Amino acid sequence: YSDILESMIIKLYSKSVTTREIADLIEKMYGSHYSPAQVSNISKQMIPKVEAYHKRKLSDKFFCVYLDATYLPLRRETFEREAVYIAIGIKPNGHKEVIDYCIAPSENIEVWTEMLQNMKSRGLKQVELFLSDGVVGMKTALARTYPKAHFQRCLVHVMRNICAKVRVDDR
């Protein structure tokens, strides 16, 4: 019973539900009282698992890697939108995998460069094709880290940029 509650608390916390809201939900649903501090302590059990995920050995080859960042509202000291960087790879056998992710206040090439170098140091040696949006400096960062890889700008991002410059009636 408590294992189920703890896993539910971790899932809610990962969805940015506050510790006070989680404590109130559990009390209403189960009659059990968890203080916000207890909820916070249970959520902290995820920290070693997340750290292990970011340090795990990676496959040595991916056929294609998508690199993109999206802005999500995250709760830290304040509740603001921050950039969540994500690298999703397709292995030669066709399986998809989230290679890595990180969070930063905004998207910039320095974070991408660090993420690429970290992926290489964890075992990812060869990528045939990288797909990314038009973030300035990406092509150079990729050429430094994976010089044999090809680069293609994501067509969805290209189309969005084009459509932004076309009259609404002409789209």
pLDDT digits (tens, 9 = 90+) for 42-78: 778 778 888 899 999 999 999 999 999 988 877 666 6
- Number of domain units in the chain: 2
Contact (Cβ atoms closer than 8 angstroms) between residue 32 and residue 22 = no
Positive or negative CA dihedral for 58, 64, 67, 73? negative
Q: Give the length of the chain.
A: 171
- Where a domain ends, among 26, 53, 80? 53
Residue 14 belongs to domain spanning: 2-53
Q: How far apart are CA 147 and CA 160, in angstroms?
A: 28
Residue 94 lies in a domain: yes
Mark whether 159 and 77 lie in a shared domain.
yes
> Residue 104: which H helix or E strand, with range?
strand 96-104
Residue 13 lies in a domain: yes
- Where a domain ends, among 30, 53, 76? 53
Per DSSP, 119 falls in state H
Mark whether 74 and 110 lie in a shared domain.
yes
Q: How far apart are CA 84 and CA 116, in angstroms?
A: 15
Residue 170 lies in a domain: no
The model's pTM: 0.71
Mark whether 154 and 118 lie in a shared domain.
yes
Residue 158 lies in a domain: yes
Mark whether 69 and 47 lie in a shared domain.
no
Residue 157 has a pLDDT of 63
Among the listed residues 63, 52, 68, 39, the one whose alpha carbon sits nearest the alpha carbon of residue 154: 68
Mean pLDDT by 10 residues, the chain (171 residues): 69 73 76 72 80 93 94 72 91 94 90 96 96 89 96 77 81 74
Mark whether 76 and 36 lie in a shared domain.
no
